[in-house]
A and B are shown apart, each in its own frame.
Chain A
Amino acid sequence: MQNKILAILLIGLALCQPYFLYGSPEKVTKEIEIGEHAYDAPKEIIHHISDANEFHIIGELSMPLPCILYNSDNGKISVFLSSRFHHGELAIDGYVLDHGRVKMIQSADFPEGEVPIALQHEEIHGEEIAFIEMDGKRYKVERAGFMDFSISKVVFGLFMAALLMFLIFLTVAKGYKKREGQAPKGIQSFMEPLIIFVRDDIAKPNIGEKYEKYLPYLMSIFFFIWFNNMLGLVPFFPFGANTTGNLMVTLTLAVFTLLITNLSANKAYWQHIFWMPGVPVPVKILLAPIELIAVFTKPFALMVRLFANISAGHIIILSLISLIFIFGDAGQNLGGGIAGITIAVPFVLFMNLLELLVAFLQAFIFTILSALFIGQAVEEHH
């Protein structure tokens, strides 16, 4: 029995190795001779961490994502698939695709519709600036002047996590209804300990008697954050979008906690903030602004904690993988590449396992601190 488990584990480990990196360096060398791009590790890492308007699958293949853009100057809403950009060869209604992100031409008199362009970059003071030269005029291209409501890579990743949650929890709910009073079967039996864990160890001890009202929220954020963290670690399409490592996503989750805490707070909570009972008056006046700021810093800390933990983990894993490319001179040096692989792959394996732990831990911490704040808000006076 144990030998079988060991065999399965080893085969699984062997299957997880990035064999495509062992491959022939000729194609990559040709690319480099034509483009003369050395492997720029920080740029590649930041590119993998950040959001994009197309989902890169492998090599040259990427899935275009719909762009929903609102031009704040002339109030025009443009909706189209990012494949219309033809990988940055066309400008559409003043928008261009620069390194996978939609940017706008900062000039009102650029022709509308589809216009073939040649996007160029130059470095000024260490910062890369994109511009277009057409008819002798130079147009600046920046990510400003418009509102981007597109289904970007991160939004797509959030949808995937939501889809996974729907699939799992609708099955579980259906199972409970079908097997009322009986023992759980199938995926119910996998989810039940986790659900009971959230109810008995996170919600009940921290919130007290009124915990049932807040269970839907706590369950939702626990599993949503956990699934998003885990899916962000999967290296292939359609997963692997760095969702919880995006400040805006964690901001939204923290705002939910902020709203739910403060909208369900009772008089004792607000009294504790503005007029702390049981202390002399000067201390009361001193404490009021501090407590008021604390109302906002606590969800802010939730936001930064989740963001920093997840994105730091992703950056470390990507840096170790980049080591392979750096050692192999981006494909030109096969011996260096193999040396890179033997050094990097064990570390990457270790970091991925650590990240699995961090995925669960950060979801747990976010949920238990949210429960703590809600508990403080609905607590009755002793």
Chain B
Amino acid sequence: MIGAGLGIGMIGQKAMEAIARQPEATNDIRTNMIIVAALVEGVALFAVVVALLTA
């Protein structure tokens, strides 16, 4: 869970830097950022589901 939080934070950080470097690509960067964030969130939610199942 902590890893997912850190991971999404890093994705956001790199996305912000990339947008700052090339503002025209904001839309593409934003779309890709959302996709990767969802993938990382998926891992965190696997952990949540396992926790709910074992308790």
The interface of chain A, by Cβ under 8 A from chain B, is 201, 301, 304-305, 307-309, 312, 361-362, 364-365, 368-369
The answer to whether B48 and A305 have CB atoms under 8 Å apart is no
Pair A361/B31 contact, Cβ less than 8 Å: no
- Please tell me if the beta carbons of A305 and B31 are within 8 angstroms of each other in the complex: no
Distance A369 CA – B39 CA, assembled complex (angstroms) = 9
Cross-chain contact A304 with B42 (CB below 8 angstroms) = yes
Which residue of A305, A307, A365 contacts B34 across the interface (Cβ within 8 Å)? A365
- 3 smallest A-B Cβ distances: which pairs? A308-B45, A365-B38, A305-B42
Q: How far is the CA of A301 from the CA of B40 in the complex (A)?
A: 11
Binding site for A on B (CB under 8 A): 31, 34-35, 38-39, 41-42, 45-46, 48-49
How distant is the Cα of A364 from the Cα of B34 in the complex, in angstroms?
10
Do A301 and B35 contact each other (CB < 8 Å), given the known contacts A308-B48, A312-B48?
A: no
- A-B contacts, CB under 8 A, total: 31
Across the interface, do A305 and B41 meet the contact criterion of CB distance under 8 Å? yes
For residue A366, give the distance in angstroms from its CB to the closest CB of chain B.
9
Q: Which residues of B contact A301 (CB under 8 A)?
A: 39, 42, 46
Whether the pair A304, B46 counts as a contact (CB closer than 8 A) is yes
Contact, CB under 8 Å: B49 / A304: yes
A residues in contact with B49, CB < 8 Å: 304, 307-308
CB neighbours of B39 from chain A (8 A):
301
Task: Tell me the complex Cα distance, A308–B49, Å.
Answer: 6
Shortest distance from the beta carbon of A199 to any chain B beta carbon, whole Å = 15
A369 to B41, CA, bound (A): 14
Question: Of all chain A residues, which has the CB nearest B44?
Answer: A308
Chain A's closest residue to B46 (CB) is A304
B45 / chain A contacts, CB cutoff of 8 Å = 304-305, 308-309, 312
Q: Which of B38, B42, B46, B48 is in CB contact (< 8 Å) with A361?
A: B38
Closest-CB distance, A307 to chain B (whole angstroms): 7
A-B contact pairs, 29 of them (CB 8 A): A201-B31, A301-B39, A301-B42, A301-B46, A304-B42, A304-B45, A304-B46, A304-B49, A305-B38, A305-B41, A305-B45, A307-B49, A308-B45, A308-B46, A308-B48, A308-B49, A309-B41, A309-B45, A312-B45, A312-B48, A361-B34, A362-B38, A364-B34, A365-B34, A365-B35, A365-B38, A368-B35, A369-B35, A369-B38
Compute how far the CA of A301 lies from the CA of B49 in the bound complex, rounded to whole angstroms: 12
Q: A201-B31, A308-B48 are in contact. List 10 more A-B contacts (CB 8 A).
A: A301-B46, A304-B45, A304-B46, A305-B38, A305-B42, A308-B49, A309-B41, A361-B38, A365-B35, A369-B35
List of B residues within 8 angstroms of A369 by Cβ:
35, 38
Residues from chain B with a CB closer than 8 A to the CB of A309 are 41, 45
Q: Which residues of B contact A308 (CB under 8 A)?
A: 45-46, 48-49
Residue among B34, B39, B45 with the highest chain A CB neighbour number at 10 A: B45
| Chain B: minimal CB distance from A244 (Å) | 13
* Least CB separation from B35: chain A residue: A368
- Residues of chain B within 8 A (CB-CB) of A368 are 35
Q: Give bound CA distance, A305 to B49, whole Å.
A: 10
Q: What residue in chain A is nearest B42 (Cβ atoms)? A: A305
Residues on A with C-beta less than 8 A from B41 are 305, 309
Residues of A within 8 A of B42 (CB): 301, 304-305
Please, how many angstroms separate the alpha-carbon atoms of A307 and B45 in the complex?
9
CB-nearest residue of chain B relative to A308? Answer: B45
- How many angstroms from the CA of A312 to the CA of B45 in the assembled complex? 9
User: Once bound together, how far apart are the Cα atoms of A112 and B53, in whole Å?
Assistant: 36
Interface centre among B34, B35, B38 (most CB of A within 10 A): B38
Chain A nearest CB from B26 CB (Å) reads: 14
**What CA separation (Å) do A307 and B39 show in the bound complex?**
14
**Chain A hits for B46, CB < 8 A:** 301, 304, 308
Taking each of A201, A307, A312, A365, which has the highest tally of chain B beta carbons within 10 Å of its own beta carbon?
A365
Hey, which chain B residues are within 8 Å of A307, CB to CB? 49
